[in-house]
């Protein structure tokens, strides 16, 4: 007994090809890079994950990646919502290892900050805030910060008020 090969209906095949083309084809973003040859990868992305876009009012919006000189490595990445940083932002050393992670809290406007040594071990963790005064955005640390040595072991605590170090507790 021989079996007949199964045929995929033309409509199903057409739908599959259309869906895969939408999700796999690269599109150019709206933001114009300064050097087209070195930042070609930064300009492109797969819909709906395009990066470095602007909203209708010209403010940063969506996923953003900031590349180093000549597009060699990523310096920071995160999300904007109509010109305001939201969610988690990651900053990197020039060598590519993680330097800092900021988690923006939507309701309180505070940031949870974790800074790392170049070897990847946690260096500091605490809170920060951003305040807009007279059109100037000011970023500062406050409260108690836990400090760790290069091996990741707890070292001491630092206490900040309005960005100024007031006390070191051992």
Q: Which fold has domain 10-169?
A: Outer Surface Protein A; domain 3 (3.90.930)
Across the range 56-75, mean pLDDT stands at 90
Mean pLDDT of the chain: 79
Spans of all domains in the chain:
10-169
Residue 50 has pLDDT above 60, yes or no: yes
- The region of weakest confidence among 25-39, 43-57, 59-73, 144-158 is 25-39
- The region of weakest confidence among 1-5, 32-36, 91-95, 151-155 is 32-36
Buried/exposed code over 80-115 (b: 16+ C-beta within 10 A; e: otherwise): beeeebeeebebbeeeeeebbbbebeeeeeebebeb
How large is the C-alpha radius of gyration of the chain? 23
């Amino acid at each position: 007994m021989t079996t007949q090969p199964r045929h995929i209906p033309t409509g199903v095949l057409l739908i599959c090809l259309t869906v895969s083309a939408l999700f796999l084809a690269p599109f150019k973003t709206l933001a114009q890079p300064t050097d087209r040859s070195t930042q070609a990868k930064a300009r492109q992305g797969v819909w709906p994950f395009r990066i470095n876009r602007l909203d209708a009012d010209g403010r940063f919006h969506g996923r953003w990646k900031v590349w180093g000189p000549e597009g060699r490595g990523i310096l920071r990445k995160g999300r904007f919502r109509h010109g305001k940083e939201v969610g988690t932002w990651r900053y990197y050393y020039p060598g590519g290892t993680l330097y800092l992670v900021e988690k923006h809290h939507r309701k309180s406007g505070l940031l949870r900050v974790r800074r790392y040594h170049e070897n990847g071990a946690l260096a500091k963790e605490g809170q920060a805030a951003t305040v807009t005064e007279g059109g100037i955005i000011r970023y500062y640390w406050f409260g108690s910060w836990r400090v760790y040595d290069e091996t990741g072991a707890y070292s001491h605590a630092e206490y900040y008020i309005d960005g100024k170090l007031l006390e070191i507790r051992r």
